[in-house]
Amino acid sequence: MSSKDLRYQALVKTFYADLYRYAYWLCQHKAIADDLVQETFLRAWKHLDSLLDAGSAKGWLVTILRRENARRFERKQFDYQEIEQDELSDQHSGSPEQLAEQSQLQQLILGLDLEYREPLVMQVLLGMTGEEIATTLALNLNTVNTRLYRARHQLRELIKSTNLGSHRHG
């Protein structure tokens, strides 16, 4: 097996789950998320030689995935009106109350402006640092930190206004 094959396998093994979660957050559809991740890894394979620093692999892959997601809108090949709601269900289900609360929280996050939602999802869902987010989004670190602060603040206000969490069991 070549060193490129080994590097690629390590990338897939290390980042597949994170990329899938992020893709699902972006599109809210399992099959589309699968396609986005597959396209991301296909492009990563083709351009693996351009990844010089293994430490920046996650940001590099997230950038590719974001571009693939943007291409999806350019192609306009998906008709979201045909997506059945049951296709959006979470396979790691909890109680109906937990699922309803999780769905409501997800809708609140999706309601944030993209400039706030995107860094928040990258931090919470992907565990990316402020520096990684700044690099991925081509922003200044202070801008990222400000957006994260505002995203959390807006989300807290939305949670208070919807009483989400007031029914939690201790």
The reported pLDDT for the residue numbered 78 is 44
Query: How many other CB atoms are there within 10 angstroms of residue 129's CB atom?
Result: 15
Tens-digit pLDDT string for the chain (170 aa):
888 899 999 999 999 999 999 999 888 889 999 999 999 999 999 999 998 888 889 999 999 999 998 888 766 544 444 444 444 444 444 567 766 777 777 888 888 888 999 999 898 888 899 999 999 999 999 999 999 999 999 988 888 888 765 554 44
| Phi, psi dihedrals of residue 95, rounded to the nearest 5° | -70, 160
CA angle 159–19–63, rounded 5-degree value:
95
CATH number at residue 15: 1.10.1740
Q: 11 and 63 in one domain?
A: yes
Do 170 and 137 share a structural domain? yes
Residues 12 and 59 in one domain: yes
- What CATH number is given to the structural domain containing 105? 1.10.10.10
Q: Residue 128: which of 13, 19, 8 has the closest Cα? A: 19
One domain, residues 83 and 120: no
User: Of the residues 89, 120, 142, which one is the last residue of a structural domain?
Assistant: 89
Q: Which domain holds residue 132?
A: 92-170
Residues 96 and 75 in one domain: no
Residue 67 identity (one-letter amino acid)? R
Looking at the fold, whether 82 and 6 belong to one and the same domain comes out as: yes
- Of 71, 89, 107, the residue at which a domain comes to its end is 89
Amino acid at 7: R
> To 10 degrees, what angle do helices 3-27 and 57-75 make?
50
Q: Residue 34 corresponds to which tokens in the numbers above?
A: 């699968």
Q: Tell whether 50 and 64 lie within a shared domain.
A: yes
Count of domains forming the chain: 2
Query: Do 129 and 160 lie in a common domain?
Result: yes
- Same domain assignment for residues 166 and 154: yes
d(CA 162, CA 85): 22
Same domain as 82, residue 1: yes
Q: Identify whether the C-beta of residue 20 lies closer than 8 Å to the C-beta of residue 33.
A: yes
